[in-house]
Structure formats: C-alpha cells, structure tokens
Amino acid sequence: MKRVILILMLASVAWVSGSAQDKMTRQERIDQWKEYMREFNGETKKAEQKYAVADTLVWLQALQALKDSSFVLEADAVTFKYGTRVQVNSTTNFISFRDGEAVVQISPSYSYAGPNGVGGITVDGMVSNVQITHDRKGRLFYTMNVQGKGISASVTISMAPGSNRAYAEVSPNFNSNTVRLEGYLVPYKFSNTIEGISF
C-alpha cells in the first residue's frame, strides 16, 4: 500500500504541465517534493497507529476469551510430528473451549471427507487443570488437559502480547504424535468454524 501511494505521488509530481514546470526553480521543486514526503510520512504514521489500536483490541478480546474459558483458536497452519507443515482452512481446523468441554479438529484434506465428514478428525473431551502463566516478555501460556473418548492430551496455547496470533501444541498422553496448530484466537461467539462428527 505504501509503495502504491508513493508511486502515485511521484506520478503527480511528474505530471506538472510544461509551462508550470519551467517556471519552478530546482529548489522549488525540491521543496515541493519535501512537502509531499512530509504529508506521506504523516499519513503513514496515522495508518500505523490505527493498525496498532486494532491489534491491541483483538489482543484484549483474546485475553478475555481465555479468562472466560470461551474461545476458539482458528488454525490456518498445522505442523505434524515430523515437521511437515501444511496450510489449512481455518473454518475446519481449530481448538475450541466452552462450557468445560474442548474440541480439537484437524482437517487438512480438501478432497477427502475423513471420519468427521470435513476432511479429517474431530475429538472432544472434558477440560481439567487449566492454568494461565506469563513469561518475562509478557507471552501468555494457557495449558489444559483434555480427556474424552477419542482424546487424552495436554494442550498448551501461547500468545505474544499485542496480537491475537496464537500457537497451540496438542501432546497426547500415550504417544508422541504432537501436533502444532497456529492461527488466531477469538472469542467463541465470534468464531465461524464448522464442526464435524466427533469420535
């Protein structure tokens, strides 16, 4: 976006009519260019401030959702045991938690329905041992145990301050098939995920 604005500004300077340009001295053209750059930098700073405010708001929403135990981590990437990382659809890949129950759904396939009907697996279970901690840099760690018919695992969600971008590791209690999900953490009521058929 910045590059587009800069190109437009350069074009507007170059498009000065011949007669007007002839009347402008070299110093006047330099001064005019400096003024354009001051305006450009001012607009850029305003835009950056707006983005920073927006990031802070979604971060605060995510923090409150974690405290309320009513959230969804909508994953746009999943990393499997041996480091294979795949981009996925955030509407069908997620970890959710509400009313004491968590759902872990991993659906990396776009063409195969899978056991859950949406391209992968869906497991759910009751949540226990929820803990929230922070490190020295302000990064939040949200840990919980999930126990159900198709899952027995510990889940650790981490989120840096100032953003709702989050990472989660699902570590099964009886094997080493750890899965990492990364995406954006949102309040449960704002999520647009599609839940498949669970085990």
Token output for 160: 């840096």
Token output for 107: 């659906």
- 122-to-116, 117, 198 alpha-carbon distances in Å: 6, 9, 5
* pLDDT of 78 above 80: yes
> How many angstroms from the chain centroid is the CA of residue 56?
13
pLDDT at 10: 46
Q: Span 70-190: which CATH code?
A: 2.40.128.410
Domain boundaries, the chain: 2-62, 70-190
Q: Which of 50-64, 68-82, 134-148 has the lowest mean pLDDT?
A: 50-64
Percent of the chain with pLDDT over 90: 56
What value does the mean pLDDT of the chain take? 84
Neighbours of 180 (CB within 10 A): 18
Residues 103-143 have pLDDT tens digits of 999 998 776 777 888 889 999 999 999 999 999 999 999 99
- pLDDT category at 163 given cuts 50, 70, 90 is very high
- pLDDT category at 67 given cuts 50, 70, 90 is very high
Give the Cα separation of 32 and 53 in Å (integer): 32
